[in-house]
A and B are shown apart, each in its own frame.
Chain A
Amino acid sequence: MFIFTLRRFNLFFFTMLLLTILSFSLSFLFPGEQLVNLTGQINATPEQLAVLANEYQHQAGFITQYFNYVSHLFHGDMGYSMASHLPVATEIFNRLPATIELTSVALLVAMFVGIPIGFFAAIYHRKTPDNIILGVAMIGYSVPVFWLGILAILVFSIQLGWLPSAGQISLLFEIEHVTGLQLIDILLSDSPYKWQAFIDATRHLILPVIVVALAPATIFMRLARTAMLEVLETHYIKAAKAKGLTFWQIIYRHAMRNAFIKVIRDVGLQFANLVTIAMVTEVIFSWPGIGRWLIESIYQRDYTAIQGGLIVLSTFIFIVHIIIDFVYAALNPLAREPRHGA
């Protein structure tokens, strides 16, 4: 387990190294003055620029400049947004929790819906349920997110009026900012309207979560189906049959855990995909998250914001990836052994 952890740290370190190098080189590649791209000070006077150049060691070699940039990052300084003139770090800090909330709820929903359905399909392999599930998965996977989101708003918000179509919570509720994660903040708050607020926030969450979760859920469905089919072919399932266990005993005690482990392994990879879908969804549902902000920054050519957003979002994806790896290791005794823990 120690070596496993060490390896993840190694991986984390090198990924961060590459990410920061990429982000740093973006400031050169974007049009305009590199120093301005890096700091976001578009209206700076020549004197101010000189001070900045000194601070960022603009005259030194690339390596020194890079380390200088990294040390700024470590101090939470990502420059100023070219559009809003606020510190990028503040902007991100205000928006990231909403994205964390949306993506993690969507990930859980996609897993809890997709994986059992995939198992179900595998158990009824080549029978009607399997075929129906495969067909639905195919459709779910090929529906464009944009279209789905707009359709969901049209039907459930405008036509039926069941669910709100924009934002994270109704403006009526004032929730103190503690963790930034809306649902948790509501539970922590001592407002007399706590439960109304909670229900309202949940209602706001439903449509975007469904839209984000649909495609990943269909992927999990197929992964889970394949994993379960593979597991059902293994010798230990055959041996369990010969032991005299019933079919459902075998499924519950042996097949599900082993198939789940196989799926978990790929969940981390799918998370990056899910975040991309979430960015588009945030735009459609005016979700106050980092994805929408990042897309707006691209429209406004806010290079500083793009660099900062890129780093933070990638780090977030990567951290989730590592957490999932640890879940995988916790479930799989084989992964904890040094010689298997690749």
Chain B
Amino acid sequence: MNLIDIRNLSIELQTATKPILAVDRVNLTMKEGEVRGLVGESGSGKSLLAQAIVGVLDDKWKVDADRFHWRGQDLMRLSPEERKVIISKDVAMIFQEPMACLDPTTTIGEQLEEAVDTEQLTGFFWQKRQQRKQAAITLLHKVGIKKHEVCVKSFPHQLTDALCQRVMIAMALARRPILLIADEPTAAMESTNQGQIFRLLASLNQLKNMSILLISHDLENVTHWTNSITVMYSGQFVEAGTTEQIFSQPYHPYTRALVDSSPKANMQIPSKSRLMTLPGSIPVLQHLPIGCRLGPRCPRAQQKCVRAPKIKNFHSQQVSCHFPLKDNYS
């Protein structure tokens, strides 16, 4: 049974003139205990997709899906409130900018304590306050913060980005989630800190069997930590497969470009020329190409590409392209 199974999820931005399809029929499936990478350039709609899953997008976004199953349960049949209850119980998310995700006027301790699930507390109500405090401290220990006394009394701006990110992870752990969505958890962080955060996430995955959706704009950055990868481009589904498949035989021209531009796959190319091998840049929401949105940048584009491609399956590897690179590998 899949942990999460999403088919054709679309997110529309309601504007004064006409709605803009920011995310266009994206698929995402995850198995229990899996670490999946969600990769794509900045502006691909990865954060939007993640926020749509946890249901925190505001009214100006309209989310639609053909299927949204959570552990076999069809969430599309439930009301938004019921969906919210199920999701917030089992899914936790850490956001892109940890510092901005903490209330600047409330201490870390208070913010951690309110994340602690009341159901986990035993005892009478006068004991609960103390238990909450204790639970908050335990959480900090879990994410490797030893100086908890200082930390709980601090305000977010007094901590470094890496520490804030740990606090965010601690908060996410408070509800003992089954799935953790980590949106660029190491962006704007030094590489030593990056490693620490990734190792922390990996250990949570192994010890607690927690599934993780690891979002990153950098394919290279996450490959070491993921079992499988989904690639997105400009709000469209590109390709999904195991990390191995994506790396060794990308079928989609975009995935191919991502792999080619990563230094690991091209040890011989000097670092200076590690540029994206595709010309141009990702389109802005106001000027989305019709059909396959990679069209204007794609070396294999043909007339057919003005219609959006259907998803093709190659041994559990899914590709959304009219002209996949399947002849390149044998």
Contacts and interface: CB of A to CB of B under 8 A. Distances in A.
A238 B105 contact: no
Nearest to A261: B105
B56 A241 contact: yes
Contact of B101 (A236, A249, A337): A236
A73 interface: no
B312 interface: no
Given A243-B114, A245-B114, A253-B114, A236 B104 contact: yes
B212 to A, nearest CB: 15
B115 interface: yes
Interface string B143-175: 000000000000101000000000010010011
A313 B89 CA distance: 58
A76 interface: no
Contact of A243 (B55, B58, B115, B157): B115
Main DSSP-derived SS at the A contact region: helix
A242 B56 contact: yes
A238 B88 contact: no
A334 B106 CA distance: 11
Contacts of B97: 235
Contacts of A254: 103, 106
Contacts of A245: 114
Q: Which of A238, A258, A337 has the most CB of B within 10 A?
A: A238
Interface in B66-118: 88-89, 92-93, 95-97, 100-106, 114-115, 117
Given A242-B93, A243-B115, A244-B89, A334 B171 contact: no
B77 to A, nearest CB: 21
A134 B88 CA distance: 35
A157 interface: no
A233 B56 CA distance: 11
Nearest to A231: B103
A142 interface: no
B196 interface: no
B131 interface: no
A239 B101 CA distance: 6
A334 B95 contact: no
A249 B114 CA distance: 10
Interface string B57-69: 0100000000000
Contact of B105 (A233, A242, A243, A331): A331
Nearest to A257: B105
Given A235-B101, A258-B103, A258-B104, A244 B157 contact: no
A159 interface: no
Contact of B102 (A239, A241, A249, A261): A239
A333 B103 contact: no
Contacts of B174: 243
A68 interface: no
Interface in A228-265: 232-236, 238-245, 249, 253-254, 257-258, 261
A332 interface: yes
Contact of A332 (B105, B114, B115, B171): B105
B54 interface: yes
Q: Determine the interface band of chain A, counting residues with CB < 8 A from chain B.
A: 20 to 34
Interface in B205-238: none
B249 interface: no
A257 B105 CA distance: 8
Nearest to B174: A243
B137 to A, nearest CB: 18
A236 B88 contact: no
B168 A239 contact: yes
A332 B54 CA distance: 30
B316 to A, nearest CB: 31
B240 to A, nearest CB: 24
A240 B104 contact: no
B89 A240 contact: no
Contacts of B157: 333-334, 337, 340
Given A236-B100, A333-B157, A244 B88 contact: yes
B8 interface: no
Contact of B88 (A232, A235, A239, A242): A242
Contacts of A236: 100-104
A254 B97 CA distance: 18
Interface string A6-43: 00000000000000000000000000000000000000
Contacts of A242: 54, 56, 88, 92-93, 95
Contacts of B101: 235-236, 238-239
Q: Which of B56, B96, B100, B103 has the most CB of A within 10 A?
A: B103
B178 to A, nearest CB: 14
Given A244-B175, A333-B157, A334-B157, A238 B56 contact: yes
A3 B327 CA distance: 69
A235 B115 CA distance: 16
A256 to B, nearest CB: 10
A240 B88 contact: no
B138 interface: no
B245 interface: no
5 contacts: A242-B54, A243-B114, A244-B175, A261-B105, A337-B157
Closest 6 CB pairs of A and B: A244-B88, A239-B101, A235-B100, A333-B155, A241-B56, A236-B103
Given A238-B56, A254-B106, 18 more contacts: A235-B100, A235-B101, A236-B100, A236-B102, A239-B95, A239-B171, A242-B56, A242-B88, A243-B114, A243-B115, A253-B103, A253-B106, A253-B114, A258-B103, A331-B105, A333-B105, A334-B104, A334-B105
